[in-house]
Amino acid sequence: MASPIPDIDALLTSMTLEEKISLLAGKNFWETVDIPARGVTSFKVSDGPNGARGAVFGNGPTAACFPASVSLASTWDVELARQMGNGLAEEARTKGARVLHPLGGRNFESFSEDPLLAGKMASGYITGLQEKGVGATIKHFAANEQETKRFSVNAVISERVLREIYLKPFEIAIKEAKPWAVMTSYNIVNGVHADMNEFLLQKVLRGQWGWKGLVMSDWGGVNSTVESLQAGTDLEMPGPTKWRQIAAVLEAVEEGKLSAEVIDQRARNVLELLVKVKAFEDPSIPAEQAVNKPEHQALIRDAGARGIVLLKNENSILPLKTEKLTKKKVALLGLAEEALIHGGGSASVNAHYRVTPEEGLKAAFGDDVEFVYAKGAHTFRQLPPFSKEVADCNGKPGWTMEFFKTMDTTGPADSVATQGDPTYLPVFVEDTWQVVRATAIFTPTVTGSHYLALTGLGPSELSIDGERVYSQDANCVDSMAFILGGVKETKVRHHFVAGRSYTIQVRSVVSSPEGGFALLQEQIGLRLGFMLEQDHNADLLSDAVAVAKDADVALVFTGHTPDWETEGQDQVSFHLPADGSQDRLVDAVAGVNSNTVVVNSTGVPVAMPWIHKVKAVLQAWFPGQEAGNAIADVLVGKVNPEGRLPVSFPRRLEDTPAYGNFPGEEVDGQPTVKYEEGVFVGYRHYDRGQKERDTVLFPFGHGLSYTTFDISGVEVQQASEELWEVSAHVRNTGNVAGAEVVQLYAGLDPASDARPVKELKAFAKVRLAPGEAKQVILQISTRDLAYFNEEQGVWAVDAGSYRISVGRSVAEIVDSKTVVVDQAGSYEP
C-alpha cells in the first residue's frame, strides 16, 4: 500500500542526528539509504547518457541504446531531445531506477562546443525525462574537460571564462528545465575539488541561480568529510560511505566544525528528492527487466539518422541508387561489420540488439546489389584474451585461478577456480584478495614469435616456463581505463614452437592506496592478451584494395570502437586508430576507386588527410542500436541528411585552441591545466582573422542536404527596449523534402580582440517540402550581448553597434544587420 507523502519538516524533526547523517551516503553502489523505522525508503539511480543500463556494467538485462549526446546535438532539434528524454525515462523504469545520469563530460556524451546549443539540447532532454517522473542528474559540475588525471588535475580558469563557456550550458539547462539533481566532477577547479567548492555549489548554483535540488558526488568523487558537506554536496556515492561514517560526522559536529543545520539541509535535499521521484508513494525497487519497445526502436532509428551530418557530397554521389550502379556491386570496407553504437565506459549499454552497416545496407537494397566485404585495417587496441589452446593445472580447458588473502603465496591458495581466460576484474569495494595467480599450459598449433600483453591494476609479472618475460612494476597508469577496456598495453613477443607445451603464469598483486580512481585503490585485477604473429601482422590492405577496385562504389567505414573512445582517458591521437591503419585504408581505396565514400563513426572530430581524394563523407557519430539502419537510411536517401556539426572539425591538432595547454603540467607537484585560450573555444577561436579558412576542415554548424535551400529577406525589428526579432524567409529550392537550420550569431561591430567575432545566440530548425517556404522568427535580447565583467562581478553590455548575422553555419553567413545599444548596462549573475 502506498504511503502518504510526509511533511519533510516534521520528518526531519523526528529523526536523530545519526539517522540524518546516514542519509548522506549511498547504501550500496546504486541505491540510497533507507530508514524503515521512519518510513524513509531508498531510490535507485542508473547511468544513462545514451541508455538506462541498469546496475550491471557487462551482461545485465539488455537495454535500449539511444544515440550518443553528440549525435543528438547534431540534430539541432530540441523537441527531438525531449522525445528522447521521454524514451529514456521509460527505459529507466524497466531498470527500477528513478534517477538517471543523462549528461556526461566525455566528448561523445557531451552536446557541443557551444554553450547555447549544449544548454538548449540539455534542457529539452531533461524536460522529457522529468515529465515522465524520472529525475535527471546533470553532470559533471564543473569544468570536467579532460579525462587525463581527471581525479587530481587542477583546472585554472578565470571567472569570465567559467561563466561564459563552462558554466553557461549548466545555467541554461538548470534555469529552463530545473533538473532534480546535479553531480559534481572529479577534478579540482581553481584549487578546490568540485565536491567541496563553495564558489560553484553555494555562490553560483544554489545562490545566484536559485537552484533547489540534490547535489551528489560522482562515484568515488568525495574528497573530505567536513568541507564536502559544508560546501553543499548532499549525497556521497557510492555506498558504503568512505568519508561520512556516522562517528566521524558526529565528531565534526561536536567539535563545531559542522553545524547541525548543515546536516539538516543536506538530509532535507535527499528527502525532497525522494518526494519528487514518488518513492514514499511507491517504495518498491522493481527487478531489472529487458523491455524492447517498438516505439523506442523507431525513435532511435529516426534520431540516429537525423543526427548524421553529410560533410561532403561531390557530384551528388549520394544518395546511392541501384540505377546508378553499373556493375550492381558495392564494396564494404573497414568497420562495416561492426555496429559502433556507443562509446566506452559508463556510457556502455548491453543493447537489445545491434544493427551493423552491412546489415542495414543489405536490408535497404535487398538482392538488387551485391555487397563484398574486406576489413582492410587492423583496429584492435588490446590483444584478445588468452583463451585458446590452453589447459588448467588439471588438464581441463582454461586457466587455474588462485586467489590469496595475504602476500604469502608459498602455501595453498584461499580460493581456486578454473575459467576460460585469465582476466580478473575487481568488484570494487567488496574485493579482499591481495594476490591473484593465473596458470595454464599452452600448446600452440602454430610456430612463431607471438604477441602477449599483460596489464594489472597493481604490480604484475608474466612468466613462461619459469622465466620472467615482462613485469609491470607500478600501478596501472589509469585504473578506470583498465576496468573499461581501454588501457594502453605493452606488447611483448615470445617464440613458440608448435606442439610443444609451455607453462604460462601471471602474478598480480593489490594496487597501492594512492592515486587513481578512489574505488579501485587497494584492489586487484589483471588481464592477459594473446595474438598469433600471423594474425597480428596480417596484410589486410591488399584484399580491401582488390575488392574496392572491382566495385561501382567503395564504402569505407571508419571510426572508434569503444576501447578507443572511452571514459578514463583522452584521445591517443587526432588520427583514426590504429597507428594510421584506417587512414591508409581510405587513401589506398580512393586510389583505385574514384567513387569512394567514407562513413565515420566517432564522437569527436578526427583528422581526414584523405578528404580531397574521396567523393563523400558522412559523420555518423554513435547513433545507437539502430546504427546500421540509420546510416543506410541516409546513404540511400530514405532520410534526407539534416544534421549540422555541433563542434568544429579542425584540419590539424596544432590548430586547436587548447593546443599547448592540454593536458597541463606539474605545478608544485599538482597536475595543473591552465585554460589560457580563454573564451576563444571552438569556432570562437577559428573565427578570428584568417583562422577559419586556413585551419578549419568543416566549420561549426556545417551540414549538407540532398536538396537546396534559400535564406533571404533577413530583417531585424526592435520588439521592445531590450528585445529584437530577427526574421528570415527559408525556401526549399530543390526536389526533395528536407530540413534547414537557421543559425543566428551576434558580435561587436567592429570586432574587439577581447571578444569573440560572433557567438551563436539563437537557432531554429525548419522542415520544408519541395518548393515550400516559411518565415522563421528568432529573438535576441540585450542580455544576450553581454560578457562577464570580472571586476564588477556582473554581466555587462557595452554601448555600441552589434552585428546580427544569419547563416547556415558560422562560416556561411547569408546576411547581416546592425543594431545599436545606446546605453551600457549590467545584469546580476
Contact in structure between 631 and 332 (CB atoms under 8 Å): no
Composition of the chain by helix, strand, coil, percent to 5: 25, 30, 45
Is residue 744 located within the same domain as residue 803? yes
How many residues are recorded in the chain?
Answer: 829
Tell me the average pLDDT of the chain: 90
**Calpha distance 639→569 (Å, rounded):** 35
Would residue 467 count as lying in a domain? yes
Is residue 446 located within the same domain as residue 546? no
E-strand ranges in 74-120 read: 99-101
Is residue 124 located within the same domain as residue 46? yes
**Could you tell me which of 663, 350, 339 has the C-alpha nearest to residue 478?**
663
Q: pLDDT for 232-279, tens place per residue?
A: 999 999 889 999 999 999 999 999 999 999 999 999 999 999 999 999
Q: Which amino acid is at 575?
A: H
pLDDT classification of 800: cutoffs 50, 70, 90? very high
Is residue 138 located within the same domain as residue 65? yes
Is the model's pLDDT at 2 over the cut of 70? Answer: no
Query: Which residues does 498 contact at the CB level (< 8 Å), separation at least 6?
Result: 444, 445, 446, 447
Count of structural domains within the chain? 4
Contact in structure between 28 and 83 (CB atoms under 8 Å): no
Is residue 321 located within the same domain as residue 395? no
Would residue 142 count as lying in a domain? yes
Is residue 134 located within the same domain as residue 235? yes
Contact in structure between 374 and 335 (CB atoms under 8 Å): no
The DSSP bridge partners found for residue 731 are: 710, 773
Q: Which amino acid is at 727?
A: S
Contact in structure between 374 and 543 (CB atoms under 8 Å): yes
The model's pTM is 0.93
Would residue 701 count as lying in a domain? no
Per-residue model confidence (pLDDT) at position 104 = 46
Q: Enumerate the active-site residues.
A: 218
More confident residue, 392 or 690: 392
- Determine the average pLDDT of the residues in 18-34: 94
Is the model's pLDDT at 105 over the cut of 50? Answer: no
Q: What is the CATH number of the domain that holds 480?
A: 2.60.120.260
- Three-state DSSP at 373 gives strand
Q: Cα dihedral sign for 47, 50, 51, 53?
A: negative
Would residue 289 count as lying in a domain? no
Is residue 70 located within the same domain as residue 215? yes
- Three-state DSSP at 469 gives strand
Q: Which amino acid is at 171?
A: E
Is residue 440 located within the same domain as residue 557? no
Contact in structure between 710 and 820 (CB atoms under 8 Å): no
Per-residue model confidence (pLDDT) at position 531 = 96
Specify the range with the lowest mean pLDDT, choosing from 19-23, 55-59, 503-507, 775-779: 55-59
More confident residue, 81 or 343: 81
- CA angle 189–191–192, rounded 5-degree value: 70
The single residue listed with the C-alpha cell 584523405 is: 610
Find the helix packing angle between 260-276 and 246-254, rounded to 10°.
140
DSSP readout, 648-704?
A: -EES-GGGSTTTTTTT-EEETTEEEEE-TTTT--THHHHTSTTHHHHHEEE-TT--B
Per-residue model confidence (pLDDT) at position 154 = 83
Given 623, 656, 673, the domain boundary residue is: 623
Is residue 30 located within the same domain as residue 122? yes
Contact in structure between 151 and 720 (CB atoms under 8 Å): no
Given 623, 655, 684, the domain boundary residue is: 623
Would residue 152 count as lying in a domain? yes
Per-residue model confidence (pLDDT) at position 287 = 80
Would residue 473 count as lying in a domain? yes
- Determine the average pLDDT of the residues in 580-590: 96
- Domain range spanning residue 442? 390-534
Is residue 85 located within the same domain as residue 234? yes
Q: Which amino acid is at 176?
A: E
Report percent pLDDT > 90 for the chain.
72
Q: What is the CATH number of the domain that holds 783?
A: 2.60.40.10
Would residue 300 count as lying in a domain? no
Copy the grid coordinates of residue 715. Answer: 530583417
Per-residue model confidence (pLDDT) at position 149 = 65
Is residue 50 located within the same domain as residue 90? yes
Given 511, 534, 557, the domain boundary residue is: 534
Q: pLDDT for 53-69, tens place per residue?
A: 666 666 677 888 889 88
Would residue 407 count as lying in a domain? yes
Is residue 84 located within the same domain as residue 120? yes
